[in-house]
Structure 1
Amino acid sequence: MNIDFKHIQSAHCENGVTTNLLRFHGYDFITEPLAFGLGSGLFYIHIPFISISNGPAVSFRTMPGAIFKRTCKSLGIPVEHKKFSDAAKAKQYLDNQIEIGNPVGCQVGVFNLTYFPVEYRFHFNAHNLIVYGKDGDSYSISDPVMETVTSLTEEELQRVRFAKGAFAPKGHVYYPVNIPKPNIELLRKGIVKGIKRNTRDMLYVPGGIAGVKGIKFTANQIRKWPTKLGDRRAALYMGQIIRMQEEIGTGGGGFRFIYAAFLEQAAQHLQMDKLMHSSDDFTRAGDLWRAAAVEMAGVYKNRLVGQEAYDKIADMLVEISETEKMAFTKLSKIKF
């Protein structure tokens, strides 16, 4: 059975799953930027005591799953989440949802996604896609980061749904339930709440490894890497940041551009021109992240060497931290 499902490509997987599922249920006004902003998706954290693929654990977005939960909550939409210890029960549950015509979001591991280019497959278990149909042994897949729909066999889907390691999905499925009629007033309130929550998370999160302070923490670490790690390992660490920034769901620069687009759309829904000016601030932050990624790539590919190269990148991250601090501080002073 295949559900009449419209696939819309997005820059980031969870944004896309959220947007596509809600639009399937009649929320035609939802866009990827709105989902990202309602979900307060913009974030930064560098966790020094965790390693991912033998490199630094950095993230440019909020915790996996939060965007979907927060967006639906803002719109008054209940959600259902299920995880499983038994793969056979997970498969049966998914098949039942498809049978009743309900597309569902699934958390999966990237490493064994057969339709991904080989260079994008590594051990990362917080990718999101939608399963919307089944024909024999083949599941119909809407992966928002892909241009068109695709498919996975039963065996392939089970493998990625039960990938091992950090953030193991455990067959996680999620979807909206008891969907109310779209309410534009709830959207407006959700926009304001999303902005305030994101401002709090980036400016006032405790500790020194998250928010704008976390970006400076990474800058300080980068300065130490050549001496502490040696040239080869330091370059590999730099490559890890590039991967987390630019390849996993758009990462640093891309998320800032999405947030800028959210503020533009928020300005229209709330009739507040001040938000348009804030949008420009986040576009600048995105540009700075992209420029930093170019420098990092130079180090990773051994075109740029020595302490000076690392110091330059660290200085760029300090500038990014100050830029985002200024942008969120301006947002915090807007009276809604």
Structure 2
Amino acid sequence: MSQVQFNHVQTAHCESGVISNLFRHYGLTISEPMAFGIGAGIFFGHLPFVKVNGVPGTTYRIWPGAIFQRVCSRLGVKMQSQKFSSPEKAMQELDRVIGEGIPVGVLSSVYYLPYFPPAYRFHFNAHNLVIYGKNGDNYQVSDPIMDVVTEIDPKSLAEARFAKGFPEPKGKMYYPVQVPSGVSLQKPIRQGIEQACHYMLKIPVPMFGVKGIRFLAKRVKHYPEKLGDRKATLYLGNIIRMQEEIGTGGAGFRFMYAAFLQEAADLLQQPELAKLSRELTGIGDLWRNFAFNAGRVCKSRSADNVSYGELSEMLLQCAAAEEVFFKKLSKVKV
């Protein structure tokens, strides 16, 4: 089996991190924030009818796989992507491809990754990592949220690739088969910004975008009387967890998009994007403040805890700020 030199760079989020690391391997250098922005990764959704581990799902980024799909389409990268009916077929194909010296992106469940600390191993089935070779029987792993490369045994990797639950990874693996040597980023940046603004402002369904933040705010306000204290704490805890622990977290995604706007401002010589980058950083701080206070409510840490009503007001403040921000962004000529 050929040994591959793979340049591992730690990133904030798995999907945009794998994009950046894989593309760099093929000579197309693109930062993680740029990948996130071109892929219109920033989003919000609250899905009370889609239960994740028994509680409603909340997302602060676009659905898994969408960033990758959009970036590849906008930059002209062609990918080979496969899913499998059995772990045996999936592992055989992985061995074949990395045996040819090709690093492979893999979808996995965090729960079965033994190099994660136990506290971080939960049932999240949309984690992306790169397998770039083997050391004996073990697979060499570039996991973008880890500071160094690591290894994983075949049994754990097969379990991670075929974890049950929503969504099922089904052994998904992917790798570039055609990567352009150079690209102009102006059009992809414009397309990414236009799509992000549309998704945050114009989806008519009340559970998505800015409307979705307000939708969640109304529900949070009534959690205690509708759910009871224990369930209210469980639901609120999951909102924080999805914001601050899953990948980059809600506030983290706002900071990453702000970094994208700053990079785009420098690249395109568009100072208005730099101003909006600073504005979004302030919105990220609003989200962090909400998470901090919601965490105190969950833990009942102090006598002067904020109420669920006050948490609802904080979310409405986030919604108002994001609405103003995305309306301004939609008017910038890129």
> Structures share a fold, TM > 0.5?
yes
Indicate if the aligned counterparts of 2:296 and 2:305 stay in contact, CA closer than 8 A: no
Q: In structure 2, the residue corresponding to 1:334 is in which secondary structure?
A: coil
Indicate if the aligned counterparts of 2:80 and 2:174 stay in contact, CA closer than 8 A: yes
Once the two structures are overlaid, the 10-residue window that deviates more, 301-310 or 44-53, is 301-310
1:297 maps to 295
Deviation at 1:321, TM superposition (A): 0.5
Separation in 2, partners of 1:278, 1:188:
17
1:333 maps to 331
2:23 maps to 22
Deviation at 1:74, TM superposition (A): 1.1
Task: Return the match for 2:261 from 247, 251, 263.
Answer: 263
Which segments of 5 or more consecutive residues in structure 2 lack a partner in the other structure? none
1:103 maps to 103
Indicate if the aligned counterparts of 1:91 and 1:158 stay in contact, CA closer than 8 A: yes
Q: In structure 1, the residue corresponding to 2:48 is in which secondary structure?
A: strand
- After TM superposition, the score normalised by the length of structure 1 is 0.97
1:123 maps to 123
Change (3 A) 1:197 1:331: same
Residue 182 of structure 1 aligns with an amino acid whose one-letter code is G
Separation in 1, partners of 2:303, 2:155:
45
Once the two structures are overlaid, the 10-residue window that deviates more, 174-183 or 83-92, is 174-183
Deviation at 1:306, TM superposition (A): 9.9
Indicate if the aligned counterparts of 1:13 and 1:127 stay in contact, CA closer than 8 A: yes
Q: In structure 2, the residue corresponding to 1:7 is in which secondary structure?
A: coil
Task: Return the match for 1:226 from 224, 227, 235.
Answer: 224
Deviation at 1:273, TM superposition (A): 0.6
Residue 239 of structure 1 aligns with an amino acid whose one-letter code is G
Indicate if the aligned counterparts of 2:28 and 2:179 stay in contact, CA closer than 8 A: no
Task: Return the match for 1:288 from 286, 289, 311.
Answer: 286
Deviation at 1:305, TM superposition (A): 7.7
Q: In structure 1, the residue corresponding to 2:63 is in which secondary structure?
A: coil
Q: After superposition, where does 1:302-313 map in structure 2 within 5 Å?
A: 302-303=300-301, 309-313=307-311
What RMSD, in angstroms, separates the aligned Cα atoms of the two structures?
Answer: 1.3
Q: What percent of counterpart residues are identical? A: 49
Q: After superposition, where does 1:45-194 map in structure 2 within 5 Å?
A: 45-183=45-183, 185=184, 187-194=185-192
Once the two structures are overlaid, the 10-residue window that deviates more, 33-42 or 174-183, is 174-183
Residue 5 of structure 1 aligns with an amino acid whose one-letter code is F
1:248 maps to 246
Indicate if the aligned counterparts of 2:287 and 2:318 stay in contact, CA closer than 8 A: yes
Indicate if the aligned counterparts of 1:46 and 1:56 stay in contact, CA closer than 8 A: yes
Separation in 2, partners of 1:180, 1:287:
38
Indicate if the aligned counterparts of 1:111 and 1:121 stay in contact, CA closer than 8 A: yes
Deviation at 1:308, TM superposition (A): 5.5
- After TM superposition, the score normalised by the length of structure 2 is 0.97
Deviation at 1:40, TM superposition (A): 0.3
Residue 9 of structure 2 aligns with an amino acid whose one-letter code is I
Indicate if the aligned counterparts of 1:226 and 1:306 stay in contact, CA closer than 8 A: no
Q: In structure 2, the residue corresponding to 1:122 is in which secondary structure?
A: coil
Separation in 2, partners of 1:304, 1:311:
17
Separation in 2, partners of 1:314, 1:291:
12
2:13 maps to 12
Separation in 2, partners of 1:291, 1:273:
28
Which segments of 5 or more consecutive residues in structure 1 lack a partner in the other structure? none
Residue 225 of structure 1 aligns with an amino acid whose one-letter code is Y
Separation in 2, partners of 1:59, 1:306:
29
Indicate if the aligned counterparts of 1:8 and 1:20 stay in contact, CA closer than 8 A: yes
Separation in 1, partners of 2:302, 2:187:
48
Q: In structure 1, the residue corresponding to 2:175 is in which secondary structure?
A: strand
Indicate if the aligned counterparts of 1:219 and 1:318 stay in contact, CA closer than 8 A: yes
Deviation at 1:335, TM superposition (A): 2.1
Indicate if the aligned counterparts of 2:297 and 2:306 stay in contact, CA closer than 8 A: no
Separation in 2, partners of 1:306, 1:173:
50
Residue 165 of structure 2 aligns with an amino acid whose one-letter code is G
Change (3 A) 1:83 1:58: same
Deviation at 1:191, TM superposition (A): 0.5
Residue 27 of structure 1 aligns with an amino acid whose one-letter code is L
- Indicate yes or no: 2:206 matched with 1:205: no
Deviation at 1:307, TM superposition (A): 9.9
Separation in 2, partners of 1:55, 1:129:
26
Residue 284 of structure 1 aligns with an amino acid whose one-letter code is G
